[in-house]
Structure 1
Amino acid sequence: MPRKKKEKQIEPAVVYALPVLPVKNTVLFPYMMLPLSVGRPSSVAAVQAALESEQKELLVVAQRDPNIEQPSLDDLFSVGTKAVIKNVGRSDGLLEVLVQGVERVTILEATQTEPYLKVQACTLPLPEEDNGAEFEALRRAVIDLGRRAFELAHPEAQVQLNQMAGQRDNALRLVFFLASVLGLDFAKQQKLLEAKTRLEAVRLLHEFLTHEVQVLELRHKIAAQARSEMTQEQREYMLRQQLKAIQQELGEKSPEQAEVDELRKRLEEADLPEQVRKEAERELRRLERLPPAAPDYQLTRTYVELIAELPWNESTRETIDMKRARQVLDEDHYDLK
């Protein structure tokens, strides 16, 4: 007789009374560690209340609007994460709190608002792991995308990813790990946290990671091109320096150095005012440092040549003769008005 397919079990929901720690633009996932700096009086009171409890638990939930300094229940997302406080310290008047996510919860109602917000929240149980073909295909695709993303951005985290990839019994932990380490957008992280099924969570992560990998690969390509161009420029510079050193050893001058020496000689022979001479020498020294292929090389050379050619201390005798001026204009520009 064929064995009946085992029905998926859903754990019963559990209700907790938890102090609330609102956070801005941050999502804490179950299983993940998150350091937080706590300074708002109500948040400090919530942390202290959690520390005084036996379990040291509180609800970490994101604000809808990060600009609100004193959020009420309506200013918070309805789904957050029950967390346990692992460590607390003080720094510059702030509480430095390390929390670890335990499980997803949804807020039912507020039971206290002062000196901190306290709520009734129940767990969001999910069916047992879906072993269907779509789920398994998405799980494997997510692992491949995660490996590629880590290769491009977080190579140090690949070992941990490989360890989680072998744990088929908890795909959500893999989802939350990837979303947390890769730093997905806040809105995407919150959407993942609120996923109603494991299959939905894996689908969402697959969508998000596909986009993330495309962005990372494009950034990697741009950076590689920039490095290649820089390497080419550095190679050309080193070759020019080596050529210059060889020419010096042989007592020869490079064409560029010969050109600079000629310009220097012309400046010395020109009867330049003192301020003009200082400016010309400064530009000439700059020209010596520039590679011939630099955009400013020709411009600077032309500028120095112009300084050398201008008749700085020569003048002509001025003759002001209106009749002669009229005659010249009539001859060359007759009927000009």
Structure 2
Amino acid sequence: MSKQEIRIPILPLRGLLVYPSMVIHLDVGREKSVQALESVMLGDQFIFLTAQKESALEQPEETDIYKMGTYAKVKQMLKLPNGTIRVLVEGIQRGRITNFTETEQYFEADVELIEEHASKDAEEEALMRTVLDLFEQYIKLSNKVSAETLASVQDVEEPGRLADVIASHLTLKVQEKQQILDAENVKERLNVLIQILNNEKKILDIEKKIGQRVKRSMEKTQKEYYLREQMKAIQKELGEKEGKAGEVADLREKIESIGMPEHMKETALKELERYEKIPSSSAESGVVRNYLDWLIQLPWTKATEDRLDVQYTEEVLNEDHYGLTKVKERVLEYIAVQQLSKSLQGPILCLAGPPGVGKTSLARSIAKALNRNFVRISLGGVRDEAEIRGHRRTYVGAMPGRIIQGMKKAGTINPVFLLDEIDKMANDFRGDPSAALLEVLDPEQNSTFSDHFIEEPYDLSNVMFITTANNIGAVPGPLLDRMEVISIAGYTEVEKTYIAKDHLIPRQLEKHGMEKKMLQIREGSIVKLIRQYTREAGVRNLERQIASLCRKAAKQIITTGKKKVIITENNLEEFLGKPIFRYGQAEEEDQVGSATGLAYTPSGGDTLSIEVSIYPGKGKLILTGSLGDVMKESAQAAFSYIRSRAEQLKIDADFHDKNDIHIHVPEGATPKDGPSAGITIATSIVSALTGIPVKKEVGMTGEITLRGRVLPIGGLKEKSLSAHRAGLTTILFPKDNEKDLDDIPESVRKDLTFIPVSHLDEVLQYALNRGEKQ
């Protein structure tokens, strides 16, 4: 290997390296580089090419360029329009910079040229073969070098030149290429190249594996995509929606169009995104879809337009129901206020009364009159809070509560919503459903009702809630406080007769497929039906008895060929058998030791006969007739009062030492209790002790104190109806209950004499017939 030293201009290259025997185009634009080129073009056209250590440097210094480079000849130079110069250079041989002589205008240095000679020994030959073999493998693994290049490389016989040519075709970093250029010794150069090729081969093997893995994944994805597209095309031809994507699109369109509040729409769209990402086979997919279905099916803005016409509403209510003046008046007031303000929140009405008085059907008529949808749920036996508020979505089979289910069924945001049998709810370890109803039935809170399943506030403020109850006492106080109670006591005989003629008989005839002329029920038979075959405040059993008459009449018409059946007072027993009830009727004559009390029962008012018997004994007070604790205490209070007033009542002062007193209320199989029998028991005892009879036409109700005061009671209307039905003509009632007289129908008031009393002395004055003793 011989060496020669020359002084020559230097051209620093950025990101590029030129080997001997390599011909390449270079674009030169830096000022120093251009001056170096112009200098050599004026001379012998030779230049020294060396790479920069950092390609980013715009103005390199001596230390920023490699010392080992390539002595090259400029074959061609062309100035481009953008100011740069394109040159064609050919590498000739290696050279090393020994000393820089010029750095101002351009780099110039003393360069030591290196000539190499191949030894052509066995080691070199082996190295050449190894290099060629590795390069062949590199070409197969890499797509960056053509197969023709291998053929051209195989024709190179000099080992040094072979290494340079192969290195020029490799995609390597400048530092790695410089290692090959720095290797002056041919064997060393081949060894460096072998090491680099081995590294590149390993990298390419890994790249190939990764590529194959990606390709397989891509092929699978492409296959699935292709199959999905085929499925879409088939579904489209069949006129079906495009799978889950079409389903999601439909759901999104519905969510956007049904008018949800913004917070609810955001929640729904977020859940829809989850649903879109969850595989259809996942259990959670069904849970999310169920939730979205509920949100979509709930009414958010849809409402019926109220028919705010007081006169029309009154006509509808009167057409469907006879009587019930108080509740009708309240509904008409609501409509009148709505007409004026158009902003009143839905009232919470509680229709309280015995079974069969028309509470549920009245609510349905209110909905009809207001042109609102009607929905009813029964709360009887509900003891789980989740029945009202729903279950959380984390539970299997979770559903919204009955309120949200009812709103879905209603389909509008302003229905008439009937909560039936609110007094029949219970509570246990699963919670208190009546407490959950507090939010529903509070006009100040129900605009943001929270259901555990829906999880977002739902507005119930436009709903008109109506509740029904048989026993107001069974409704918890906080819940009762949120409702406006309207008592429906029951119907008078006159009212029941009208209801039977105008409503029940036509309805049953229609149900039994009979024309009006086929069955005629006379008014006298209707009255007898009411008095002797039913015992109720409402008309449910009355309708059952009328249905029974229709069936029996239908049988007669079919079997005997009759065209018409007439039912009168005289032949009623032929159809229905012997009378079922006697209905406490007034005594036929005045009785000693027996007074008629008025009671309030779940089926309305009734009369109650209280009997007292006095016989020799040791002063025992015996109570029979299935009496409750309250009635027993009333009897004890009445007995104590009579003992304290024995002298004024002209009774032996020691009567209680010589006699036993037996108080009995007939029909002992029927439990009886209540605070309104005090004055009746006291009157019976006084009558029995004095022998003065009680007037047969007098009925009484009221509690008594130890001082003889008469305390107010409840249910005066119902009790008055039962007295009227039993044929009594005089009612003794607590003075504090005078305000309740307005609730009693005029048809009953005109037949009865109401006497308010405040003390037992007044009761005895009016009740006892002092004209004669027996």
Q: Same fold (TM over 0.5)?
A: yes
Q: Percent identity?
A: 30
CA contact (8 A) 1:130 1:199 kept: no
State the partner residue of 1:24.
14
How many angstroms apart in 1 are the aligned matches of 2:25 and 2:297? 69
Deviation at 1:160?
2.1
User: Is the counterpart of residue 73 in structure 1 residue 47 in structure 2?
Assistant: no
Structure 1 or 2: more helix by fraction: 1
Deviation at 1:204?
0.2
**Gap change, CA 1:307 and 1:127, over 3 Å in 2:** farther
* Alignment equivalent of 1:99, drawn from 79, 89, 95: 89
CA contact (8 A) 2:118 2:160 kept: no
How many angstroms apart in 1 are the aligned matches of 2:207 and 2:261? 53
State the partner residue of 1:190.
178
CA contact (8 A) 2:97 2:111 kept: yes
CA contact (8 A) 2:93 2:115 kept: no
> What letter corresponds to residue 92 of structure 1 in structure 2?
N
User: Is the counterpart of residue 162 in structure 1 residue 151 in structure 2?
Assistant: yes
How many angstroms apart in 1 are the aligned matches of 2:266 and 2:57? 60
State the partner residue of 1:212.
200
How many angstroms apart in 2 are the aligned matches of 1:66 and 1:265? 57
State the partner residue of 1:63.
52
State the partner residue of 2:167.
179
State the partner residue of 1:51.
41
Q: Aligned with 2:115: secondary structure? A: coil
**Gap change, CA 1:246 and 1:117, over 3 Å in 2:** closer
Deviation at 1:19?
0.7
1:215-254 residue pairs with structure 2 within 5 A? 215-251=203-239
> What letter corresponds to residue 70 of structure 1 in structure 2?
Q
Deviation at 1:108?
2.4
How many angstroms apart in 1 are the aligned matches of 2:225 and 2:61? 62
User: Is the counterpart of residue 149 in structure 1 residue 138 in structure 2?
Assistant: yes
Q: Summarize deviations over 1:271-297 as a string: whole Å, max 9, x none.
A: 535997799799989989x896899x9
Q: Which moved more, 1:253-262 or 1:73-82?
A: 253-262
How many angstroms apart in 1 are the aligned matches of 2:88 and 2:294? 68
> What letter corresponds to residue 228 of structure 2 in structure 1?
R
User: Is the counterpart of residue 110 in structure 1 residue 100 in structure 2?
Assistant: yes
Deviation at 1:119?
1.7
CA contact (8 A) 1:143 1:165 kept: yes
CA contact (8 A) 1:81 1:101 kept: yes
CA contact (8 A) 1:237 1:291 kept: no
Higher relative contact order (CA 8 A, sep 6+): 1
Deviation at 1:258?
8.0
Q: Aligned with 1:137: secondary structure? A: helix
State the partner residue of 1:127.
117
Contiguous gaps of at least 5 residues in structure 1: 1-9, 325-337
**Gap change, CA 1:232 and 1:36, over 3 Å in 2:** same
How many angstroms apart in 2 are the aligned matches of 1:262 and 1:21? 69
Q: Aligned with 1:14: secondary structure? A: strand
Q: Aligned with 2:109: secondary structure? A: strand
How many angstroms apart in 2 are the aligned matches of 1:70 and 1:257? 60
> What letter corresponds to residue 110 of structure 2 in structure 1?
Q
* Alignment equivalent of 1:13, drawn from 3, 10, 34: 3
How many angstroms apart in 2 are the aligned matches of 1:72 and 1:270? 74
How many angstroms apart in 2 are the aligned matches of 1:249 and 1:265? 23
How many angstroms apart in 2 are the aligned matches of 1:113 and 1:294? 75
CA contact (8 A) 2:139 2:147 kept: yes
**Gap change, CA 1:176 and 1:298, over 3 Å in 2:** farther
State the partner residue of 1:88.
77
1:273-292 residue pairs with structure 2 within 5 A? none
Report the TM-score, using the length of structure 1 for normalisation: 0.74
Deviation at 1:57?
1.0
Q: Which moved more, 1:134-143 or 1:305-314?
A: 305-314
State the partner residue of 1:327.
none
CA contact (8 A) 1:129 1:170 kept: no
**Gap change, CA 1:15 and 1:262, over 3 Å in 2:** closer
Contiguous gaps of at least 5 residues in structure 2: 302-412, 414-438, 447-477, 479-774
Q: Summarize deviations over 1:227-275 as a string: whole Å, max 9, x none.
A: 2211211111211222233344345567637855874796599553599
CA contact (8 A) 1:23 1:62 kept: yes
State the partner residue of 1:42.
32
CA contact (8 A) 1:130 1:198 kept: no
